């Protein structure tokens, strides 16, 4: 499928910063818009219209910290994303499918990838690190855990900030280099994901190879009422941290209940996959026109 790159309602995750713009009408009035950080909303609308198994290969845009010295290794403000969805499929089967795809690519480039990718359950690994049940831990618990692990904190840190700090420094860096899925993220880290049957975690996974995140995937949330509530929470958090907010995508809310459960979706960074396949050390090595060359 081909999906729009300029939209009125981009992803509202507080962690993302879309490129904003204005559309000018003939009478001089304007409408706010933004370049997509992901084609997810449009793809889910297509599922709601009845399509069962779809993919898109598209440019996406994220606006944040690209001109610091270490940014070019994995990030460029414009990059290519492969995103696919299938109704009637959950995230466990999605891990199998993703592993098959990545291993096919590795073997096509003459790289060995024979052993199964590890599967790391985030709540279990978190408890091993901190002694805490992740689903029961409050912000102060995470702050204490950060300090016990030698990590600095700030009074303005949110729950998600503190968890992310522990995850990046003490979990992500210790994943097997040959490939590992990390799965069952905190609910606070997956506004578009269905919850596990016990309601404690989000059915979300990421794949890491060689210390680099390649994809982000979910069993998709299809409850329109719950999705609206999560969008409203994200709007409030964006306002709290001083980021611009966008209107909720009402068409997406309307169509979500038409999507059959379960539904799997995955977003894979094509540039990072090419880095892995070619042995490139920086995303700039596989781009003809990296941002730092265009905006020097």
Please identify which residue in the block is written with the tokens 């933004």. Answer: 34
Residue 54 lies in a domain: yes
Confidence of residue 6 (pLDDT cuts 50, 70, 90): very high
Give me the CATH number covering residue 62: 3.30.930.10
Residue 132 lies in a domain: no
Mean per-residue pLDDT for 40-62? 97
> For the chain, what percent of residues have pLDDT higher than 70?
97
Which two three-digit tokens encode residue 120? 């790391």
**72-121 pLDDT per residue, tens:** 588 899 999 999 999 999 999 999 999 999 999 999 999 877 689 999 99
Residue 33 lies in a domain: yes
**15-40 pLDDT per residue, tens:** 889 999 999 999 999 999 999 999 99
> For the chain, what percent of residues have pLDDT higher than 90?
80
State the virtual CA torsion across 103, 270, 70, 36 in degrees, nearest 10: -140
Residue 60 lies in a domain: yes
Distance CA 143, CA 161 (A): 10
Which two three-digit tokens encode residue 22? 């204005």
Q: How many domains does the chain have?
A: 1
Please confirm whether the linkage preceding 262 is cis (ω < 30° from 0): yes
pTM above 0.95, yes or no: no
**Which residues fall within 8 angstroms of residue 150, CB to CB, at 6 or more apart?**
none
Q: How much is the mean pLDDT over the chain?
A: 92
Q: What is the largest CA-CA distance in the chain?
A: 62
Residue 120 lies in a domain: no
**149-194 pLDDT per residue, tens:** 999 999 888 898 899 999 999 999 999 989 999 999 999 888 889 9
Dihedral of CA 234/152/155/185: which sign? Answer: positive
Distance CA 8, CA 264 (A): 25
Residue 165 lies in a domain: no
Please identify which residue in the block is written with the tokens 């689903």. Answer: 135
Residue 16 has a CB neighbour count (10 Å cut-off) of: 16
| Pairing verdict, β 20-24 and 30-35 | antiparallel
Q: Write out the E strands in 106-211.
A: 118-121, 180-186, 201-209
**Which residues fall within 8 angstroms of residue 258, CB to CB, at 6 or more apart?**
47, 48, 49, 50
Residue 141 lies in a domain: no
Q: Which domain holds residue 25?
A: 6-115+231-294
Dihedral of CA 139/170/274/216: which sign? Answer: negative
Which of 244, 291, 236 has its CA nearest to residue 21? Answer: 244
Residue 214 lies in a domain: no
Distance CA 6, CA 58 (A): 12
């Amino acid at each position: 499928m081909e999906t729009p790159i300029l939209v009125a309602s981009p992803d509202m995750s507080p962690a993302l910063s879309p490129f904003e713009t204005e559309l000018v009408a003939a009478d001089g009035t304007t409408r706010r818009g933004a370049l997509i950080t992901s084609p997810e909303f449009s793809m889910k609308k297509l599922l709601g219209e009845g399509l069962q198994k779809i993919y898109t290969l598209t440019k996406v845009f994220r606006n944040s910290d690209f001109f610091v010295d270490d940014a070019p290794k994995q990030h460029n403000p414009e990059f290519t994303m492969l995103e696919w969805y299938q109704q009637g499929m959950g995230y466990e089967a999605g891990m199998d499918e993703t592993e098959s795809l990545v291993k096919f690519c590795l073997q096509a480039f003459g790289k060995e990838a024979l052993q199964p990718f590890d599967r790391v359950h985030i709540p279990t690994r978190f408890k091993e690190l901190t002694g805490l049940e992740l689903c029961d831990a409050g912000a102060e618990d995470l702050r204490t855990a950060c300090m016990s692990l030698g990590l600095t904190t700030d009074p303005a840190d949110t729950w998600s900030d503190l968890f992310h700090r522990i995850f990046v420094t003490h979990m992500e860096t210790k994943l097997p280099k040959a490939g590992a899925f990390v799965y069952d993220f905190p609910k606070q880290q997956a506004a578009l994901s269905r919850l596990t049957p016990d309601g404690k975690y989000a059915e979300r996974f990421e794949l890491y190879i060689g210390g680099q995140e390649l994809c982000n995937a979910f069993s998709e949330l299809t409850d329109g009422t719950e999705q609206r509530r999560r969008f409203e929470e994200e709007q409030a958090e964006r306002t709290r941290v001083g980021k611009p907010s966008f209107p909720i995508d009402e068409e997406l809310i309307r169509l979500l209940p038409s999507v059959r459960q379960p539904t799997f979706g995955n977003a894979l960074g094509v540039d990072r996959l090419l880095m892995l396949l070619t042995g490139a050390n920086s995303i700039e090595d596989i781009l003809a026109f990296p941002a730092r060359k265009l905006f020097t």
